[in-house]
Each structure stands twice: as structure tokens, then as C-alpha cells.
Amino acid sequence: MNSLKKLGVGVAVLFVFLLYSLGIRHQNPTITKPSSLNNPNPTNNSTAKSTSASNAKAATTATAIGSATSSSNSSTTTSSNGQYKDGSYTGNSYDAYYGNVQVLVTVTGGKITAVKFLQYPNTHSTSVYINDQAMPYLQQEAIKAQSSNVQLISGATYTSQAFVQSLQSALSQAKN
């Protein structure tokens, strides 16, 4: 009789654990917008919105470009107006735990005008959900900051850290 009670309690605990696991699995993570984007600079805001909207769509197809860990795709025309040389610069690929992150930075007039994701974690449904929300924020942050000094996105920490590293490597190629 005592072993029957233990078996019943064990089955009940297992059942509760399974229900809890299924409930947690189907909850979407919360992504928090960086506070620096709450009061955006009006001149950079329109650029950031149009850039992030087009980049989010282009990012899906850009993943097929490959997983090169380093490249320097740059067309350089020096600009005396900003801190970077004009051109497009590909950052190194960095591990974001569930996949790699690699960015392509476009500099025009010495300023960062666009940041595109060439690679990002997109093999798990949760990664897709998180990155669909976080990537536009990261792109806006980079354009607004004009550097790799961007706020990390709460809920997308690994992607944010890898983004900063890839952005840093791309911008190091673009330094005047």
C-alpha cells in the first residue's frame, strides 16, 4: 500500500512537471526596448526606421550568404566629414549560443547609415521570435550611437553581445 502511494505521488509530480514545461515552452520571451530609443534623435529616427524595416526582411535571405568567420568587404572612399571611411564593411562572425551573428555596416558621409544582419540565430522558433524583435532595435541603436557602444537588449543578451562584437570588428575596418 505504501509503495502504491509513492507511485501515485511520483506520477502526480511528473504530470505537474510536464504541464509546467509545456506551459513555459509556449510562452514567448519578453524583449525590452532600450531606453536610449525612447527619445530618438529625429534626424536618425527616420533613417533607422526605414533601415531596420528593410534589413529585417533582407536578413532572412542574407543568412544564406554563408558562415565565413572573417572577411573585409570594403569599398573605401575617404570622407573628411565623419569618423569612418565610406563603404560597406563585413564584421567577423561571433557565436550567440544558438547560432552566429555577423553584420554588414554601410558608411556614407563618414557616418553609419545602415547595419544589416548577414547571420543570426534562426533555427529555433524561440530564436526567430526573439531576433525578429531585437534586431531592429540593435540596428537603430548602432545608427543612433554611431559606434559599437550600444545597449544590450534584455531578453536577447547573447544576440546583443555577438552583434556588438561583429559591429566592432566591422567598424575597426572603417576607421579613418
Q: What is the pLDDT of residues 1-33, one digit of tens each?
A: 788 888 888 888 888 877 777 665 556 677 777
Report the percentage of the chain scoring pLDDT > 90: 51
1 belongs to a structural domain: no
Does 172 have pLDDT greater than 90? yes
pLDDT for the residue 24: 59
Q: How far apart, in whole angstroms, are the C-alpha atoms of residue 136 and residue 150?
A: 13
Is a pLDDT exceeding 80 seen at residue 154?
yes
If one counts the domains in the chain, the total is 1
> What backbone phi and psi angles, to 5 degrees, belong to 56?
-65, -40
Q: Is residue 163 part of a domain?
A: yes
Task: Name 86's bridge partners.
Answer: 77
Residue 26: inside a domain = no
Domain assignment present for 32: no
Neighbour count for residue 149 (Cβ, 10 Å): 11
Residue 18 lies in a domain: no
The answer to the question of residue 9 being in a domain is: no
> Higher pLDDT residue, 131 or 64?
131
Which residues span the domain enclosing 145? 42-174
Q: Is residue 24 domain-resident?
A: no
d(CA 169, CA 141): 17
CATH of the domain at 119: 3.90.1010
In a domain, 103, yes or no: yes
pLDDT tens for residues 37-82?
775 454 444 343 333 433 433 333 333 333 333 344 444 444 446 7
Nearest to 106 by CA among 58, 170, 41, 172: 170
pLDDT reported for residue 12:
86
Contact 155, 31 (CB under 8 A): yes
pLDDT for the residue numbered 27 = 63
